[in-house]
Structure formats: C-alpha cells, structure tokens
Structure 1
Amino acid sequence: MSEPALFQSQHPKATCFSRSVSKLPLSTGLNSRDLERLETLIIERIKVKKGSALYRMGDPLRSLYAVRVGAFKTRMMSFDGCHQIIGFQVPGDMLGLEAISSGHYGCDALALEDSEVCSIHFLRLEKLSQDLPVLQHNLHKLMSHEIVRDLHMLFLTGNLNSNERLADFLLNLSQQLSTLGNSSTDFVLKMSRDDIASYLGLRLETICRCIAHLRNHALVEIVGRNVKILNIEGLRYLVAGHFESS
C-alpha cells in the first residue's frame, strides 16, 4: 500500500459513522447498545485518492472497509499480467470480504474517484460477532451476497449476449443508485468503458456497439459517462430476451 495513496482524518471516528453506524449492512437488527459496541471497531476514516489503491492483492487482512463516499473497482491479475475487473463498490458496500478465507486480500481495490472508507478491525469484529449472533448473521449474509454476485456473473457471461449484458449492468447500477437516494434513470458512470468491458467479459469495441444498439432502440442514451435511461422496462425485457424492436 503506497503511503501517498491514503491519508487519515484528523478525527477518525468523529464524522465516520457516528450518526449513521446504523446504516452499515453489518448493523441490521442490532440494538443501540450493540451498535455502540460495533462503532468501537471502526479504527479510522481513510481517504483514498482517485486511482490509488486501498489495498493490493496479497496484502494481509487487517480490516474490512465500509465505503462511505465515492466508488471503487476491484480487480484481479492473472499470471500473464492481464487485469480483470470483478466488481464495483459504492457507498454502503463492504470491501475486503474475499480475504476472510485466506487471510490475504484476493484482489486490488482501486478508487474510481476521491473516496472515503471506514476501517473495521477484522479480528475484533470476528470476536464481537461471537458474542452477538445477529452481527455474525449479518457478516455471513454479506459473504453470501458476494457468492450470489459471483454466480450472477457466471450466469450473465454464459447465457446473455453482449447487448443483454450491458443492459443488465445498467439495470443493476440503476437499482444501486436508487437505493442510495439518487436518480435511477439519470446518472454519471464512475468507471470507464474499458472497465465495463473487462467486467462484462467483452471487448471495448463491443461495448461501443452495444451503446449504439441501446441508443438506436431508444432504451438508453449514453454521452461520454452521462447515462439517461429512456425505457427501463424495455431494458428489463431485453435482459429477459423478450424485447422486440419496432
């Protein structure tokens, strides 16, 4: 982890989740006393500059990270040096879950824009979860969510064509943004088209053709990184294989 990439807040916990620890996915179902115990595990608030790494593949697991502000991409590198994007994370998402099984982070976590995370001490979290069955359930649920996400990607790459993959990606992103209280139909992509292509297992030129296809069928308008979904039901029909062009 390069030193210039990260810099701590002057008051690590004061403005981290002091008033919103209950919004953490780990906190679902916890009472006020247990929420206070969970908050003690938040070691520091970390700012990560755009393009910098929060952690690198192979680094030892010390903390899990809750995204507070900004966005990240996670990527793996093959033995021949090729990179594969395996996910995108937005506020409310957790980073580092893949490290629990081996004790080492299994990917790089890179900031797509100037971002901020809260560092949660993993060993202390593990110990507290033994005392709080609800917290342990929430941790298991988050890990299960990662498995479901991976299974969805296997289905997506094995069963959907390129236009359907991009439509599915935009629908999922739309739903995430809506959950965060943002517009589900008018938003700015934080990731590049190269990143999207890598994530969907497509070539960049294929992504460009897909964007043109969605535009020509009045489903989505994408200019640069600005996205405007024109027909969200049409996108759903496209992913389901039932869309008929006029």
Structure 2
Amino acid sequence: MSHPINVACSNCNLRELCMPVGLKPEELQRIDELVATRRKVKRGTTLFRNGERFDALYAIRTGFFKTCITAEDGRDQVTGFQMAGEIIGLDGIVNDHHTCDAVALEDAEVCVMPFDKISEISRDVASLQHHLHRIMSREIVREHGVMLLLGTMHAEERVAAFLLNLVQRLHTRGFSRSEVVLRMTREEIGNYLGLKLETVSRTFSKFAEMGMITVRHRHVRILDVDALKRLVGPPGGAA
C-alpha cells in the first residue's frame, strides 16, 4: 500500500543516512520532489520479487528486510539484511528487473523513489548521483566481505563478524553500541553465513559461556567487543 508523504526528505531524521549531505536550499527542494509515496510492508510479505520489473529504489524508513534468491535446488539463500536508513532495490538497475526477493522481517515502511525521477534530478543535483554511486560501491564492498566471510572464516569468526557489523550499522543509526535485538531468526543467520542452525545456536552459547555476550531470546548484549574483534582479526566481515 502506498500513500502520499507527509514529511519532506529535508525534514526526515534519516536524511543524512540515505541522502547526500551539505545540500544547498534549492538542491534540498529538488530532493524533496524525489519521493512521491511511502509504502507500508507487512511482516513476512515482499517489497519486490525476483523477475519483477525494476522502476524504483526504496529508502527504508522503519523496519528490517532480508534479500534472498532461490538456489538451483529450490532452497532460499539469504543474501543480506537491510535496515532503516539504507537503500534497497539496487539489484534491479543492471537489467531493469529485480534479481532477488526483498522480504520484510517486521512491519516496515519505505519511501518509494522512482528511478527515472532520480535520473532527472541527478542532472541538477550532481551530489545525488555521486551519493548513489557511493551506495552502490558500498554494496559491492559488502558483497566482497561476505565472500571473504564464507571462503576463509570458521564458524565462530563468521558469527562474531556478523554481530560486530550489525551493531556497528545500528550504532550509526543512533542505537546502542553494545545491544541488538535480532530481527532475523538464527536459521536465517545461518543461511546467510553458510552455517547450520545448530552451529549458530551453539556458537551463541559458547560466546555467552566465554563472557563475550549475553543472549536472551533475540536480545543480544555484547560484553567484550575486543574479544569478538580478536576472533575476527583484520576488518573484512559484512552483514
């Protein structure tokens, strides 16, 4: 369901996360033309599906999403988790259709940004195009991080890198530096990290026994961030 927006991008508290910073007043006015509607997405439903025509990018205002593809054996493979302040839908730019499903992990709301409108406004606001390129570059770096995660790290390193990356991204959005409520299941975490559900649960328990974290259902509190970082080693993980 889409509906007209009530708050302009220039007044949105997430603007600095999903829009260029340092814009002139006239540029801000053009940016405010970018988002015509907001769309609510219920938990468990899709924002877009693999194969659907690509016509817009989506800025997540509230909620959490996962992106996934269907593997050759018919199983779903989680390719990423996205949160408020991030842009989703970049996968559709190359071939004008989406190449994955985007599923809401909780009730969510997104700002719909028609791609033809982005292209039009980018001609007047050069920093918008530059910002889009930065977002795309960040996604490429994140994908490379995932490849490193799956190709070279053991189970404990993968889970530690996942937790550190998730907390860091949430902290950028004003949340706690040490606490996180997991919006995804352990099974989804395992799917993303290339681990079995039992391995993820066992690793959480081991981290708790070692005094690095406390776990209560989906609430995770990091007690020893340095210990997690030592497990991971040099930066490289992604979520």
Normalized against structure 2, the TM-score is what? 0.93
Aligned equivalents of 1:32, 1:149: Cα separation in 2: 33
Please give the residue correspondences for 1:10-29 in structure 2 after superposition, counting only pairs within 5 Å: 12-15=4-7, 17=9, 19-20=11-12, 22-29=15-22
Q: Which residue of 1 aligns with 2:73?
A: 80
1:38 to 2:31 alignment: yes
Aligned equivalents of 1:16, 1:143: Cα separation in 2: 24
Structure 2 unaligned segments of length 5 or more: list them.
Answer: 235-239
Aligned equivalents of 1:185, 1:165: Cα separation in 2: 18
Aligned equivalents of 1:160, 1:16: Cα separation in 2: 43
CA contact (8 A) 2:9 2:31 kept: no
1:196 to 2:154 alignment: no
The offset of 1:232, in angstroms, is 0.7
1:71 to 2:64 alignment: yes
The offset of 1:47, in angstroms, is 0.6
CA contact (8 A) 2:34 2:121 kept: no
Structure 1's consecutive aligned runs of 4 or more residues displaced over 6 angstroms after TM superposition are none
Which of the residues 186, 204, 207 maps onto 1:211?
204
Please give the residue correspondences for 1:129-140 in structure 2 after superposition, counting only pairs within 5 Å: 129-140=122-133
Secondary structure of the residue aligned to 2:67 is strand
Count, aligned residues: 233
The offset of 1:16, in angstroms, is 5.8
Normalized against structure 1, the TM-score is what? 0.90
Aligned equivalents of 2:107, 2:130: Cα separation in 1: 32
The letter for the 2-side match of 1:183 is S
1:226 to 2:224 alignment: no
Please give the residue correspondences for 1:72-221 in structure 2 after superposition, counting only pairs within 5 Å: 72-221=65-214
The offset of 1:86, in angstroms, is 0.7
Q: Which residue of 2 aligns with 1:4?
A: none
Structure 1 unaligned segments of length 5 or more: list them.
Answer: 1-6, 242-246
The offset of 1:193, in angstroms, is 0.5
Secondary structure of the residue aligned to 1:28 is coil
Secondary structure of the residue aligned to 1:27 is coil
Aligned equivalents of 1:24, 1:168: Cα separation in 2: 22
Q: Which residue of 1 aligns with 2:42?
A: 49
Secondary structure of the residue aligned to 2:77 is strand
Secondary structure of the residue aligned to 2:215 is strand
Deviates more, 1:113-122 or 1:71-80: 71-80
Which of the residues 52, 57, 81 maps onto 1:59?
52
The letter for the 1-side match of 2:2 is Q
Aligned equivalents of 1:22, 1:172: Cα separation in 2: 21
Secondary structure of the residue aligned to 1:110 is strand
Aligned equivalents of 1:127, 1:161: Cα separation in 2: 46
CA contact (8 A) 1:27 1:35 kept: no
Q: Which residue of 2 aligns with 1:8?
A: 2
The letter for the 2-side match of 1:8 is S
| RMSD, matched Cα | 1.5
The letter for the 1-side match of 2:44 is G
CA contact (8 A) 2:10 2:28 kept: no
**How far does the alpha carbon of each residue in 1:131-187 deviate from its partner, in whole angstroms, 9 at most, with x for none?**
332111111111111100000001111111100100000001111111111112122
Secondary structure of the residue aligned to 1:131 is coil
CA contact (8 A) 1:22 1:35 kept: no
